[in-house]
Amino acid sequence: MSSERSNIEAAQTLVLSAERLRSFSFPEAAAEALLNLSALAALRAGLGVNRPVFAGFIGCTGTGKSTLFNSLAGRELSLTGWKTHNTRGPVMLGQDRFWRLVDELEKKLGKLLFPSLKREMVANGEKAAGAPGALLWTASSDPQWENTILIDLPDINTTLARDERLLAMQLMPWLDAAVFVVDDETLYHRDYESFAEPAATLQQSRFCVLNNRGLDQVDLNHRDLRESMRFFGVESIYVLPNIGRGKRFGCEPEFLRFREALRKVRHPAPLAPLFKNAAPLAQELLDENRRRREALQSLQESLSAEIQSSLAKEPPIELRKILHDDVIQALHHMGLKRFAVSNLYQFMKRTAKTGSLRESVQLAFGNRKDQILSHALHLDLKKLEEEVRQRLSDHRERLKNCILHHAESQGLMEIAPEFRAAALALNGSLAGSLSEAVQTFETQCRDLLASDSLKTSLKNDPLVALGVAAALAVDAFTLPGFGSWALAPSLFRYIPLGPFEKTKRKFQQNVNDIVRRTLLREIEQLNEIRRSIALEDADPILEALRTYSQNHEN
């Protein structure tokens, strides 16, 4: 695909996505200028190689710019006079066919002709002074302007018409032919500098018309006038006579010569300079997009690191807060609990507390111990949720501080004020089912209690077997039948006890994962803001900006 074709497609993409691009709050000056250039490129491409020429009239207040425009239009269309701000917005005259073509194109792509301006039609017989932010237009049936669109641009005086000047500069790229209208006082006016140079850069046809209100004959070979020709980039200056206020040019020879020269312009300005002008604007948006993505990536990494660090320092959920002590004690000494001194201690403690010797014997040493413990094996889900919510609250405060004190946060909040609100509103329900984790843990513990025996422990856990062998070896040097079992509880306190230890740690890890998922889900809302202020790699708008930026590199 040719470079020009790629740029045209990029222009069409941006025109179709104009509102979405604006929603990212990129630098407005660059974004709007780029959208205007894209609309212009899409319009020129849609109108084709035989499109009409856009001829714009550029001048200070009172130079006769609107008078010349009306004279070419053949009617009083644009308001004339010496009054400041006479022409406050563009006034356009074009053929009916042109307006139909524009309408057809805009139905496909969106607004193309001066997209930043609202469009108002001027009825026949009305005089238009132009309006800020508006394009006043009217249709013509004059065949001599079949291939030319006449545009009376706003006044360009810096002091008296600053806003009009800025609008005229914005509309300058739309012209194929720039007509600089001057008089005896403004021939060397510096206000034209901002328009003469872009006209050359954009490869526009250029004309200079001098409304001579003096009595002396103008010598075009004078050094000053030749310097003016060089400044405007023209080979000659059309000198029009003084016709008096309120009148129009008609049969004056120099006016007719200028009109014929303007009508003969058949080479519309090329697209290449537009794309060259668009390149630095696109690059500015690309740089800003990259800066935002890097800032968001840095923040995201900081938040992830904060979550990992906080969870790593956080102690596991203590079972004693949510499970009966007797059940915990039995589970901790699974395997040798029937002989352990610690179980004898628990037996005596429970008997003293409850006064029920039978219940205590059954719980510590009885054959139905697994049934009794299973019946008591119920974690307090309410207390567990309170503990988890308190931990989440602590983590959220740390995350908020991390966001607010991050180096990039201030810049992100200026781009998207909702970023601060989202950062301070970290809150939400648990991202996972605590009840499901509790139910799984209880089921696994009941299975362990049901299958518990010395034989099972020795078979399933080599460490238990090693501990039993060590205890039996010590038995030869201590009181037979007692010393080894007195040693066993202390020994097992320092080595993993097998199935229950794994089950407990897995449960604690599940709770920890639920906390982590909850926090990650809550900071996900910041990623939603990310998608509203930065373009992703696969976004067509980003690809269009990259296509434009290649013109800058070349």
Instruction: Please answer whether residues 282 and 41 qualify as being in contact, where contact means their C-beta atoms are separated by less than 8 angstroms.
Output: no
| pLDDT score recorded for residue 494 | 38
This prediction has a pTM of 0.74
Q: Give the containing element (helix H, strand E) for 151.
A: strand 148-152
Sheet strand arrangement including 53-58: 118-121, 134-140, 91-95, 148-152, 53-58, 177-183, 205-211, 238-240
What pLDDT is stored for residue 493 in this prediction?
Answer: 40
Return d(Cα 213, Cα 187) in angstroms, integer: 12
Q: What is the pLDDT of residue 324?
A: 75
What letter does residue 212 receive in the DSSP assignment? -
By the 8 A CB rule, do 278 and 548 touch? Answer: yes
CA 304 to CA 402: how far, in whole Å?
A: 10
Rounded to whole angstroms, how far apart are CA atoms 525 and 538? 21
Distances (CA, A) of 159 to 60, 87, 129, 191: 11, 15, 19, 10
Question: What are the b/e assignments for 226-235, b being 16+ CB within 10 Å?
Answer: eebbebbbbe
Burial group, residue 511, by CB count within 10 angstroms (0-12, 13-18, 19+)? buried
Mean pLDDT of all residues belonging to the chain? 80
User: How many Å apart are CA 241 and CA 232, to the nearest integer?
Assistant: 21
Given this model, what pLDDT does residue 532 score? 81
Predicted pLDDT at 335: 40
Question: Token pair 């699974």 is at which residue?
Answer: 334
Which residue reads 């990623």 in tokens? 527
Predicted local distance difference test score (pLDDT) of residue 38: 96
pLDDT value, residue 482 = 47
pLDDT at 71: 92
**Count of CB atoms situated within 10 Å of the CB of 269:** 22
CA distance 416 to 419: 6
Mean pLDDT by 10 residues, the chain (554 residues): 87 95 91 95 92 93 88 85 65 90 92 90 66 81 88 78 82 95 82 91 95 75 88 93 81 93 90 93 95 87 88 87 72 46 57 60 53 68 89 87 82 73 64 81 80 55 58 55 46 49 85 88 76 89 94 57
Q: What does the pLDDT look like over 111-122, one tens digit per residue?
A: 999 998 888 887
C-alpha 4/C-alpha 8 separation (Å) is 6
pLDDT at 49: 85
